[in-house]
Amino acid sequence: MTQTNNNMTVNPDLAMERAKCNFNVLEVTHIFDGGERNTLQRKKIEDVALNSGASKDALGEEHMSPKEKYENAVRKSCIYATMMKNELAELSGLESFGVSSPVIRRTADAFFKEVSPFLLHLGMFVPTIMGQCTPEQQSYWLPRALDMQIIGTYAQTELGHGTFIRGLETTATYDPETEEFVLHSPTLSSYKWWAGGLGKTVNYCIVVAQLYTKGECHGTHPFIVQIRDEDTHVPLPGIKVGEIGPKMGFNTADNGFLGFDHYRIPREHMLMKNAQVLKDGTYVKVARHGKLTYGTMVFVRVVLVNEVAFNLAKASTIAVRYSAIRRQSKPKPDEVEPQILDYVTQQHKLFIAIATAHALQLCSTWLWESFSAVLAQMKGGNTDTLPEFHALSSCLKAISTSDSAHLIEQCRHACGGHGYMISSGIPNLYNFVSATRTYEGDYTVLLLQTARFLVKAYEQAEAKKPLTPTVSYLAHAFSGSRATWDNSPDGIIRSFQALAAGKTAVCVTNMRKRMRAGLSQVDAWEMSTIQLVAAAEAHCRAVIADTYRKEIVRLTANSSPNVKVVMDQLTTLYLYYWALERTGDLLMFTSVSQKDLVDLQIAYEELLLKIRPNAVGLVDAFDLRDELLHSTLGSYDGRVYERLMEEALKSPMNKEPVSDAYSKYLRPMMKGKL
Ligand SMILES: CCCCC/C=C\C/C=C\C/C=C\CCC(=O)SCCNC(=O)CCNC(=O)[C@H](O)C(C)(C)COP(=O)(O)OP(=O)(O)OC[C@H]1O[C@@H](n2cnc3c(N)ncnc32)[C@H](O)[C@@H]1OP(=O)(O)O
Ligand SMILES: Cc1cc2nc3c(=O)[nH]c(=O)nc-3n(C[C@H](O)[C@H](O)[C@H](O)COP(=O)(O)OP(=O)(O)OC[C@H]3O[C@@H](n4cnc5c(N)ncnc54)[C@H](O)[C@@H]3O)c2cc1C
């Protein structure tokens, strides 16, 4: 594994772990990256972006005031944007800045401990222009956005509504006299709230508003709206805009609020790929599917699965390396204190994080490929695969973000007190990833979208109609007997599918019972939502397990024997872990016995011991440069205590021997003079 500094002194415990590793680390890096070519390209990009030291701060971000932090993040965003225009675009094979790739996104993380104020420009503004504009509109807006002549964001959520998009209150009323839309915020709750970069950075945004023309409301539609002067950056008349204040994370993203007072924009600023308003105010629906204006959200949900896999890889790298150098307690009085990584409970906390990072990474690539296929079909006017894809991307977004947030927190627990230090890197990772569970569609809300699809698919299976691929297992839901337990990987995956089918069946049965008892369909659905969420979660686990297993088998077909073994161990660990987490469900829906579960627990514990010697090698294979980890605990060289002390000494509190608080408060209080 290449590191920036080849002459570094490495902590002896880490060196010993690396010597113990019995597989080719680089081969696993290639699997994680999606092939050797990708690894080489990633490294080139990282070398250009990071070797100059431009990503570093003289003073740690955590010691800056909110204003300084924001300005510093803008400074570095501009450096990175310029690098992308000049050096990185060609290296990454991208035509121009803006059409970001995961590698470019990841490399940018070296520049920010939190996030770039440009995240929404790249993540949603540019993709909306690409996905929602007519070709003419695109040819006008896209070059300006890609070249960063304008910077934008995506303002959909309002103070009063985020989830329920149809409930948004901002209005865009067409005036045929002037051929303009009049944007207005009729209530406090209609103020746009949350959009990243809106507070201070952007001069344009996509605004989602209720469209009125000829006195009729046509529902929510996207508009491109200038909010600040292109030269002075002063907010334009009719615009009320500002920053929403401190948050748990995202503090360098200047999330903002926005209100309109009868603010006029040209007719052409409605994004008209899916629906149009003609000069005379006639509304024309173009799209075949009613939800295509939600397209940017679907895109980001797909991207997020990859995003959280990467962040989980970071957290597990930090926690595993730290657990290799940290020694604590003395279970055997005559021996030295063991590395905490030797405790089986520690392995139980950490190895699932490594396996999940792999599972999500591979699922994200598979999801991206499925998304590309759906987009290609839609280009030809066919939207048949969209409902299944919406159900799939919804549940994968929900489960990947939720699992990653939980496991990152588990990595923090695994690092004891030092994991609570900002300098460990884990709190920032957690704050970032826990937000992903909420934004771009809340966890519960998205799983209920998947559940809608599952219930419909179940009814189709009942009627012996054909099923789409991800729910084809529902065809076996009516055999009347419980699925046969078998602890092989394929057997466990079949059991996960049986759980999903069984839970869906329970929901359908309960809803029908409730309706027979007099509840409306809506109320019967509502009363069943706890179980519906559980069914969607079970479905998603079955999809992840199946995809992870199939992808690993495919990707390791030509790997060296030890790589095959260790990758197989990780996938098996993932399956055992989730089977043991769901023993109650397995007892309900499969033929598993108490003895089978006791045996599975033992097999799981033995698997942890088998993975243990390769644990550091496995996280080294994520190949995360120190600049990306921002961690005193997780650096490649393992100089944990030295780095913790170096960071502590940087604290502005240590600048003077006696704090001003002494003479102001402590002394007077202690001398009884306060
Ligand atoms: C390139 C670099 C990228 C870097 C990436 C890194 C980070 C990410 C970048 C940026 C993110 C940062 C910040 C986050 C920004 C945001 O949060 S933007 C705001 C996002 N907001 C949401 O996600 C809102 C969530 N709500 C919804 O999606 C919908 O309102 C809803 C819950 C789905 C309900 O919609 P509604 O219109 O009421 O529909 P209903 O429930 O009635 O369903 C009707 C049918 O429509 C189907 N459907 C719903 N959505 C879709 C869809 N997207 N696609 C296809 N179909 C959809 C639904 O299944 C129903 O179908 P039926 O057949 O009737 O069952
Ligand atoms: C860091 C961050 C950045 C963001 N950036 C942007 C941005 O750039 N642009 C933008 O437009 N938005 C942005 N958002 C907003 C984000 O998209 C919304 O917060 C998110 O979609 C959730 O909506 P909400 O806040 O209305 O939650 P709510 O819907 O109010 O959710 C609150 C609770 O109610 C439950 N709930 C709601 N509806 C239902 C239902 N039908 N059934 C069962 N339970 C339900 C939820 O599960 C949740 O537990 C951002 C949010 C965050 C945290």
CB 279 within 8 A of CB 374: no
Cα 489 to chain centroid, rounded: 27
Task: Tell me how far apart the alpha carbons of residues 582 and 108 are, in angstroms, rounded to a whole number.
Answer: 38
For residue 433, pLDDT beyond 90: yes
Index of the ligand 1 atom closest to the CA of residue 154? 18
**What was the pLDDT predicted at 482?**
86
Could you give the number of structural domains in the chain?
A: 2
Sequential DSSP letters for 57-92: -SS-GGGS-HHHHHHHHHHHHHHHHHHIIIIIHHHT
Index of the ligand 1 atom closest to the CA of residue 448? 32
- Residue of 158 and 333 predicted with greater confidence: 158
HEC sequence for 91-155:
HCCCCCCCCCCHHHHHHHCCCCCCCCCCHHHHHHHHHHHHHHCCHHHHHHHHHHHHCCCCCEEEE
Domain-ending residue, one of 601, 620, 639: 620
For 186, counting Cβ atoms within 10 Å of its Cβ (0-12 exposed, 13-18 middle, 19+ buried), the class is exposed
Least confident range from 115-129, 246-260, 303-317, 374-388: namely 374-388
Give the Å distance between the CA of 290 and the centre of ligand 1: 12
424 inside domain: no
**What was the pLDDT predicted at 580?**
98
**What was the pLDDT predicted at 91?**
72
450 inside domain: yes
**What was the pLDDT predicted at 167?**
98
Give the Å distance between the CA of 393 and the centre of ligand 2: 17
Mean pLDDT of the chain: 94
Catalytic residues: 440
**What was the pLDDT predicted at 481?**
79
Structure confidence by residue, pLDDT tens digits, 23-65: 999 999 999 999 999 999 999 999 999 998 889 887 788 899 9
375 inside domain: no
For residue 97, pLDDT beyond 50: no
ipTM associated with this complex: 0.98
58 inside domain: no
Q: b/e per residue, 541-552, with b = 16+ CB within 10 A?
A: bbbbbbbbbebb
Task: Tell me how far apart the alpha carbons of residues 598 and 617 are, in angstroms, rounded to a whole number.
Answer: 30
The CATH number of whichever domain residue 161 belongs to comes to 2.40.110.10
- Residue of 427 and 52 predicted with greater confidence: 427
Q: Which one of the ligands is nearest to 393 CA?
A: 1
Q: How confident is the model at residue 101 (pLDDT cuts 50, 70, 90)?
A: confident
247 inside domain: yes
Give the Å distance between the CA of 193 and the centre of ligand 2: 11
| Helices 295-325 and 12-20, axial angle in degrees (round to 10) | 110
Least confident range from 82-86, 430-434, 645-649: namely 82-86
Residue having the nearest C-alpha atom to atom 19 of ligand 1:
440
Structure confidence by residue, pLDDT tens digits, 310-325: 999 999 999 999 999 9
For residue 104, pLDDT beyond 90: no
614 inside domain: yes
600 inside domain: yes
Domain-ending residue, one of 573, 599, 620: 620
- The mean per-residue pLDDT over the stretch 2-15 comes to 74
- The mean per-residue pLDDT over the stretch 581-596 comes to 97
Task: Tell me how far apart the alpha carbons of residues 446 and 390 are, in angstroms, rounded to a whole number.
Answer: 9
**What was the pLDDT predicted at 7?**
67
The CATH number of whichever domain residue 476 belongs to comes to 1.20.140.10
Is the pTM higher than 0.95? yes
**What was the pLDDT predicted at 92?**
67
538 inside domain: yes
Index of the ligand 1 atom closest to the CA of residue 120? 10
Structure confidence by residue, pLDDT tens digits, 200-233: 999 999 999 999 999 999 999 999 999 999 999 9
Domain span at 612? 443-620
Which residues are CB-neighbours of 664 under 8 A, at least 6 positions away? none
Domain-ending residue, one of 266, 287, 308: 287
Least confident range from 277-291, 567-581, 598-612: namely 277-291
For residue 353, pLDDT beyond 60: yes
